[in-house]
Amino acid sequence: MLTLTEKALFALAVIFTAYGTSLGFSAMFRTIRYGQAPSLSTDWQRTIRALGTWIVMRPIWGTRRITGAVHAALAWGFVLYLLVNVVDVIRGYVDEPVLFPDWISQSYRLAVDLASGAVLLAMAWLLLRRFVFPGRKVFSQRANVLRIKNSRLSFLNQTVSRDSLIVGIFILCHVGFRVLGESVAIQLHSPDPWQPIASAIAPIWAGLGTDTLTIWHHVCWWGALGLILAFAPYFPYTKHVHFIMSGFNFATQIDRKSPGALDPIDFSNENIEVFGALKLEQLPQSGIADAFACIMCNRCQDVCPAYETGKELSPAALEINKRYFINENLHDLASGKPPDAMLTEYAITESAVWACTACGACTAICPVANAPMLDILEIRRGLVLMEDQYPEELETVYQGMERNGNPWNMGAGDRLKWADGLVVPTVEQQPDAEILWWLGCAPSYDQRAQETARALVRVLEAAGVSFSVLGSKERCSGDSARRSGNEYLFSELASANIATLNSVNPPRIMTTCPHCLHTLGNEYSALGGHYTVIHHTELLSELADAGRLPTDDLEENVTLHDPCYLGRQNDITEAPRSVLEESGAVITEMPRNRKKSFCCGAGGAQMWMDEPVPRINETRYAEAAATGASTVATACPFCLTMLRDAAAKTVDGPDVKDIAEIVADRLPAEVGVPA
């Protein structure tokens, strides 16, 4: 089809395009490589799993299903067009090549024709949705959210919108030229029933002579494939490189025991110069790769409790800002000469850093496996460990953990005062107990959480469970220290607790606090503490299934608030519900439940900090009250505190109780000890 001159020009253009594109991708991966450990790697099993996830695009189906389907059409069309473009190049160089048997050729032409139509419709719909249809707030952030310069400007000057417009027009023109070229070929040669869309367009060329049609055929061929050559070097700099980098993210995703499990810092390593991350290159390699994989879809922003309640934090803006900072400084970063710029200057404000509740909703919903929460926690580490900067409310919390092993800063010897009058044996008194109850700091020092602990004692005694506690040997698990960036304090607390637990060697550890559950079960293992840890709702569910819970059914309308570190972080969602149902409760679910639960506002050490209004806990309590339930059940002492604080500001709202209390209320009067 092509003339000799055209063939030579195209071959030369391919060489220049390949060189230009390789420069962009090479700079991308060298920038990622300059990130910190753990280094990204993969193996064939993870690669196969990643390929399956990438092809099926499973993560995008959870929300915005119509938009997800449209994006899927584009993505699958992209994959198909990798083959189409190769075939079209061969057809350009070889006159009438016979590449497939007739039946395969016919099926191929039909599939490509229909796919082309789907891609054109999908791209047109997405462009209209972004630039024309109302409701485009899904693509924006509030004015109080930090955005890197030039990325907030309107329309063509806005970097994100400009990229979307350029890529959208490219796809429309690339596929459009290809369809037009096929319609010209049909008019030039013979009808083709296997290309219905191209055949429907072919009559527009009627009346043109053979020479003119041949010219138009060449124009369309160059229009379709020439656009590829022109666009490819620009591709690594656009947000749409996520199509490739999402697969890279899936393949190199670090295996964690839970999405929120953090990598420890080796404080004995004298080669480590910076703890945490104050600059881009100090982030882990995965944190830099996330910037390239980001779709900029704002799904993470949609589920962020801090953003919903008006704070400066937008996980989406964090990733977008990182990406455009990289674009502006790509070759300096790739050559190991990064600009002297702090992440808090261009990516996220300090106020936003400290607004994060570490709930993990952003990580859970991301369709490309990004983890902005982990970036924020790395920045907190940098601020605390390198700059000694943190909210003043945390000063007494840190002192309490350092001196007395608890954030309440109360005496370690007072950990069992709440149990006066109850039979709560220590490990010395009952070393062979089937359960070691890790009390946690809240039941030890918070009066309201102590009511839950007393109720649980009644339930365990009624079920005949043999348990013991550490008593004064127990120290704070360190969750609040770690999630507020004080990794050194966390490592001190964890080391002491691991030494204690290893000396006891309990068969199973039970916690009433999901944060303790997560820390002991998912994070201590990296420091030498390997334990079987269960939540008290899991134990109660086991006891109910075994018929060991003698309860009187008292029907009650209950709505369940799933704690973030129980459901989303540890996938424990059914045990609490089964316990409530066994107790005769009728559960009315909130719209956001199970692993999509909305945070209470206490995580990420927010329990100890003042939150400006509107408050997250009040937003969640209002959602619970709207169900009409008489009781809000939860399974976390922090959630209990936050929701009860919100309830105290309302009139005639539902009561808030721990599930253990609801079960204890249903024990026959003659069973157990008095509460």
- Cα–Cα distances (Å) from 79 to 182, 201, 491, in that order, read 20, 25, 47
- pLDDT greater than 80 at residue 150: no
397 has pLDDT over 80: yes
DSSP string, 138-149: GG---TTS---T
Rounded Cα distance, 296 and 141, in Å: 11
Q: pLDDT tens across 608-632, in order?
A: 999 998 999 999 999 999 999 999 9
Helical axes 102-131 vs 159-188, angle rounded to 10°: 150
Q: Which residues contact 12 (CB under 8 A, 6 or more apart)?
A: none
Q: Order of strands across the sheet with 556-560?
A: 585-587, 556-560, 631-634, 655-658
Residues facing residue 556 across a β-bridge:
585
Alpha helices in 555-650 (DSSP H): 574-582, 616-625, 637-647
Q: How far apart are CA 628 and CA 421, in angstroms?
A: 38
Average pLDDT over residues 148-167: 66
pLDDT mean over 458-468: 96
Does residue 494 carry a pLDDT above 90? Answer: yes
| Predicted pLDDT of residue 73 | 86
Rounded-to-integer distance, Cα 497 and Cα 502, Å = 8
What is the tens place of the pLDDT at every residue in 519-571?
999 999 999 999 999 999 999 999 999 999 887 777 889 999 999 999 999 99
Q: What is the pLDDT of residue 555?
A: 80
673 pLDDT higher than 90: no
Q: Is the pLDDT of residue 152 over 90?
A: no
pLDDT average, residue stretch 638-655: 96
- How do residues 35-90 score in pLDDT, each as one tens digit? 998 878 887 888 888 888 777 766 666 677 788 788 888 888 988 999 999 999 99
Strands 631-634 and 467-469: unpaired
Query: In this predicted structure, what is the pLDDT of residue 155?
Result: 42
Average pLDDT over residues 113-117: 96
Per DSSP, 653 falls in state P
21-60: b (≥16 Cβ within 10 Å) or e: beebbebbeebbebbbeeebeeeeeeeeebeebbeebebb
The answer to whether the CB of 242 falls within 8 A of the CB of 294 is yes
Q: Where are the beta strands (DSSP E) in 316-452?
A: 435-438
Residue 29: pLDDT above 50? yes
Tokens linked to 453: 């602990």
Q: What average pLDDT score do residues 197-218 get?
A: 95
The total of other beta-carbon atoms located within 10 Å of residue 101's CB is 9
Helices and strands in the chain: count of H runs, count of E runs: 28, 8
Q: How confident is the model at residue 129 (pLDDT cuts 50, 70, 90)?
A: confident
For the segment 644-654, the average pLDDT, to the nearest whole number, is 95
pLDDT-derived band at 186, boundaries 50, 70, 90? very high
Q: Side-chain half-sphere of 501: how many Cα atoms within 13 Å?
A: 30
- What is the average pLDDT score of the chain? 92
**pLDDT on residue 608:** 97
Cβ(635)–Cβ(514) under 8 Å?
yes
pLDDT at 154: 43
Q: How confident is the model at residue 675 (pLDDT cuts 50, 70, 90)?
A: very low
Q: Which of 482, 284, 484 is nearest to 370 (CA)?
A: 284
Distance CA 603, CA 484 (A): 10
Spell out the alpha helix ranges (H) of 94-235: 102-131, 159-188, 196-201, 210-231
- pLDDT tens digits for range 289-313: 999 999 888 999 999 999 999 999 9
Residue 633 to residue 560: CA distance in whole angstroms: 5
Q: Residues 246-266: what's their mean pLDDT?
A: 90
Predicted confidence (pLDDT) at residue 602 exceeds the cutoff of 60: yes
- Per DSSP, helices labelled H in 44-101 are 44-56, 65-93
Helix (H) or strand (E) holding 292: helix 285-293
Strand-pairing partners, residue 535, are 511
Looking at beta carbons, which pairs linking 542-546 to residues 24 or more positions away fall under 8 Å? Answer: 543/459, 543/463, 543/465, 544/578, 544/579, 544/582, 545/578
Helix (H, G, I), strand (E, B) or coil at 631: strand
pLDDT for 55: 76
Dist. CA 70–CA 40, nearest whole Å: 31
Q: Say whether pLDDT at 634 is over 50.
A: yes
* Per-residue pLDDT at 241 exceeds 70: yes
What is the pLDDT at residue 344? 97
